[in-house]
Amino acid sequence: MKNIVVSNTKSLKGSVNISGAKNSVLPLMCATILSDKVCELVNVPNVEDVETLKKVIVALGSKVEHINDKLFVDGSALNKTKATYGMVQKMRASILVLGPLLARFKHCEVSLPGGCAIGDRPVNLHLKAMEALGAEITIHDGYIEAFAPDGLKGADIIFDKITVGGTENALMAASMAKGKTRIFNAAQEPEIVQLCEYLKSGGVSIKGIGSNNIEINGSAGNLLTFPPTAVIPDRIEAGTYMCAAAILGSKLEVNDIHPSHLINVVSKLQEMGCQIEIEKNKITISRNKPLRPIDITTAEYPGFPTDMQAQIMAVMTQAEGASTVQENLFENRFMNVAEFRRMGANIKLHNNMATIIGPCKLEGTDVTSTDLRASASLLIMGLVAKGETTVHEVEHLLRGYEDIVGKFSSIGAEMKFS
């Protein structure tokens, strides 16, 4: 197990370049299952989740070449339709092979993902979508087995709860179905928009991109041909560095981003007293007054992202007064709070609401990562804590942040692996 040691840091400076989005590249890699041609993805982040998904699609029979930030996936020899427990247990997003495997091969078996540190995270809505498209689903021996002997048929898919992964599986499956599919109450995240654009560039007609009602005219079983595509910038990575600058009151340029994907994070950091300058592909954040307390409610895009609440909670520990965070997406996403308290934070928890009383003096100690975003928040806490903070089990962090220690060090953070 690796640890990261963060020492009290006076300020950050300079600029940081943001990598491609983990949560966009994963569905795009799964979408390559819909093609038997070589698919080229660029701006691919060098993170563990990409490595894990590479292994999954290679085990299914695809050939993968990864050169710097380019990924070439050749699905011409893809011939296996079982995603095993070992594959899915390591990374829940492996469930995203369900829709494309079923669409291409009319059959697949995918291990049921287990529980997860941030909540139960069922996949009932993914299955409901596949059933709407005509699949017969059985669950046996811990596996989802899906059959569509006559191929998938376009249908209405109505989600009673917004789901990012469920929408992605539905989009990929519908892309090769026969006829028209309408997805009602679809997720609208930028990662969903990119997947829609990718499928469209592969020859599928898609209307309503970016809205909550998406209409897909499937290819009726024909495989797709995708042009080279650049993965969108990682809005959560960008937001994480912005929170680090906010807590220290430093001026930082965050480059290679789409600022419009970060509007909610920007507006909350402004409310806390940060100055934010927005340019085409860049945000400059600075602060010269004390942090003000704020209230946050997590919601589906364009609401405040659940993937940013732990990082902004770290900033709230230094605000002058009581801030609140209401977590509405996952039932167990306050795992970082116990570790924050061990560093000296004053936080009260009541159901899905955390009240953070600031400002408080933080002290470095040993803390443990519980999930990807909680780990990032502990690094941010370590920047302002007195002395040294050792974050244990940072494997979580490496799943989704490219070269996080190198990037933080390059902007002046006192941070190293140990």
**Catalytic center residues:** 116
Distance between CA atoms of residues 9 and 403, nearest Å: 19
Binding mask 187-226 vs ligand EPU (x if CB under 6 A, - otherwise)?
Answer: ----------------------------------------
- Spatial distance between the Cα atoms of 213 and 126, rounded to a whole number of angstroms: 17
CA distance linking residue 367 with residue 369, whole number of Å: 7
Cβ closest to ligand EPU, residue 86 vs residue 303: 303
The minimum distance between CB 119 and ligand EPU, in angstroms, equals 6
Residue 23 binds ligand EPU, judged by CB under 6 A: yes
Among 125, 172, 272, 316, interactor with ligand EPU by CB under 6 A: 125
| Smallest distance from ligand EPU to CB 128, Å | 8
- Nearer to ligand EPU by C-beta: 323 or 369? 369
Member of 123, 254, 367, 397 binding ligand EPU (CB under 6 A): 123
How far is CA 53 from its chain centroid?
14
* Preceding omega of 302 cis (within 30 degrees of 0): yes
Residue 121 touches ligand EPU, criterion: CB under 6 A: yes
CB closer to ligand EPU, 143 vs 330: 330
Site membership for ligand EPU, residue 169 (CB under 6 A): no
Closest CA to 176 of 219, 134, 146, 215: 219
Residue 393 near residue 417, CB atoms below 8 Å: no
Q: Which region, judged by CB under 6 A, interacts with ligand EPU, from 67-75, 162-170, 356-364, 407-415?
A: 162-170
For ligand EPU, give the closer residue by CB, 124 or 211.
124
Contact call for residue 306 and ligand EPU (CB under 6 A): yes
What does the angle CA 11 – CA 382 – CA 26 come to, to the nearest 5 degrees?
Answer: 100
Tell me the DSSP string of 220-289: TTPPP-PPPEEPPB-HHHHHHHHHHHHHHT--EEEES--GGGGHHHHHHHHHTT-EEEE-SSEEEEE--S
Tokens of 104: 């291409």
239 binds ligand EPU (CB under 6 A): no
Whether the upstream peptide bond of residue 228 has omega within 30° of 0, thus cis, is no
Q: Which residues lie near ligand EPU (CB under 6 A)?
A: 23, 26, 93, 119, 121-126, 161, 163-166, 306-307, 329-330, 372-373, 400
